Amino acid sequence: MKKKLLVSAVMFLLTTFLFTTVASAQEQDTTIKEAKIKTSAVCEHCKARIEKAVNKLDGIESTNLDTETKELSVKYHSDILTLASIKTAINKAGYDADDMAADKGAFDKLPNCCKSKKCDHENK
């Protein structure tokens, strides 16, 4: 009788542990979101600046800016960070982010090539 009770208790604890672990893993997966943000980037210099600004934020999993499409792909933890705060980081770096215009002061500090429609560095 004691042996059956002990086996039942161990099985209960093991089942509870496994359920909690699986539920926790599923909950963590749902907090990671993906977004694509249209930017005003024109070259690899812009790419480096934008990715650096966004990667400084807590909750960023990954970033990749495609300079041909000017689109930033970002994976982030939505329980830590909002899409608006990612766009704000891009704006503060001097670039447009979707419908949010670049911070004028930050834009003015960008190299001249990054302020144009096409970067001169790409032709050198």
Least confident piece of the model among 33-42, 43-52, 110-119 = 110-119
pLDDT tens for 39-83 read 999 999 999 999 999 999 999 999 999 999 999 999 999 999 999
Burial 85-116 (b: 16+ CB within 10 A, else e): ebbbbbbebbbbbeeeebbeebbeebeebbbe
Is CATH 3.30.70.100 the right assignment for the domain spanning 32-118?
A: yes
Q: How far apart are CA 45 and CA 109, in angstroms?
A: 13
Q: In what order do the strands lie in the sheet with 60-66?
A: 32-38, 71-77, 60-66
Q: How far apart are CA 6 and CA 105, in angstroms?
A: 69
Q: Residue 37: is its pLDDT beyond 50?
A: yes
Structure tokens at 98: 């979707």
Q: How far apart are CA 120 and CA 123, in angstroms?
A: 6
**pLDDT band for position 17 (cuts 50, 70, 90):** low
Highest mean pLDDT among 11-20, 23-32, 110-119: 110-119
What predicted TM-score, i.e. pTM, was given to this entire model? Answer: 0.72
pLDDT tens for 85-104 read 999 999 999 999 999 999 99
